[in-house]
């Protein structure tokens, strides 16, 4: 539920609260709004630093934004991109996975994960590109990467790397969120029918 929706809901049902309770809730919502606004400003500064190739500064700014809004998948994704630029693959992978924990539909993280693994574990890279295609079957970048990688890889799903990925807690958490998404499950079922 968005902050705006929550505020509107509170206004609609304000008669359920004592005056002091309502003031306290409104005060908390105002603080949340301020934190979110500040986190966006920090992200924008991080984006500017990234564009200026000041990757360490960008990482610092995205980290500060995440302290204010630790559930924003875009902040994790942006920091992941900055980590990629300074060859901190492990941190970049962690951030990409964290972004997917908050939003399993966030295609950019599948692209980033694939890119992180492209040289070190091409089979795993192909796996992430293919998972991204489940969420966005028409994504041209993913299609292109799968085509490029498919020419050079065996079937990843039968590999030890795939088994390792699927056993990880991060994958299990992400997969459980996917399973809860009824609309997405319908799309997946329709893919099998084609």
CB 107 within 8 A of CB 132: yes
Asked if the 89-194 domain carries CATH number 1.10.10.10, the reply is: no
Dihedral pair phi/psi, residue 26, rounded to 5°: -60, -40
Query: How much is the pTM?
Result: 0.71
Report the Cα 149 to chain-centroid distance in Å.
Answer: 23
pLDDT tens for 164-189 read: 766 777 666 766 766 676 666 665 55
Separation between Cα atoms, residue 174 and residue 101, nearest integer Å:
5
Domain residue limits, the chain: 1-70, 89-194
**pLDDT of 52 over the 90 cut:** yes
Structure-model confidence comparison of residues 190 and 177, the more confident one: 177
């Amino acid at each position: 539920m968005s902050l705006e929706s929550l505020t509107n809901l509170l206004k609609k049902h304000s008669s359920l609260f004592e005056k002091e309770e309502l003031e306290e809730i409104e005060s908390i919502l105002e603080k949340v709004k301020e934190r979110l606004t500040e986190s966006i400003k920090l992200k924008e500064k991080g984006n500017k630093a990234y564009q200026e190739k000041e990757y360490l500064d960008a990482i610092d700014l995205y980290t500060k934004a995440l302290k204010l809004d630790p559930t924003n998948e875009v902040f994790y994704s942006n920091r992941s991109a900055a980590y990629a630029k300074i060859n901190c693959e492990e941190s970049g992978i962690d951030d990409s996975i964290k972004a997917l924990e908050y939003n399993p539909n966030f295609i950019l993280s599948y692209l980033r994960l694939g890119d992180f693994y492209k040289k070190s574990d091409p089979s795993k890279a192909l796996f992430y590109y293919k998972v991204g295609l489940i969420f966005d079957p028409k994504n041209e970048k993913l299609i292109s990467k799968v085509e490029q990688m498919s020419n050079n890889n065996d079937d990843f799903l039968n590999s030890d790397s795939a088994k390792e990925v699927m056993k990880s807690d991060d994958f299990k958490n992400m997969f459980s969120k996917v399973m809860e998404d009824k609309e997405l499950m319908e799309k997946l079922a329709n893919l099998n029918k084609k």
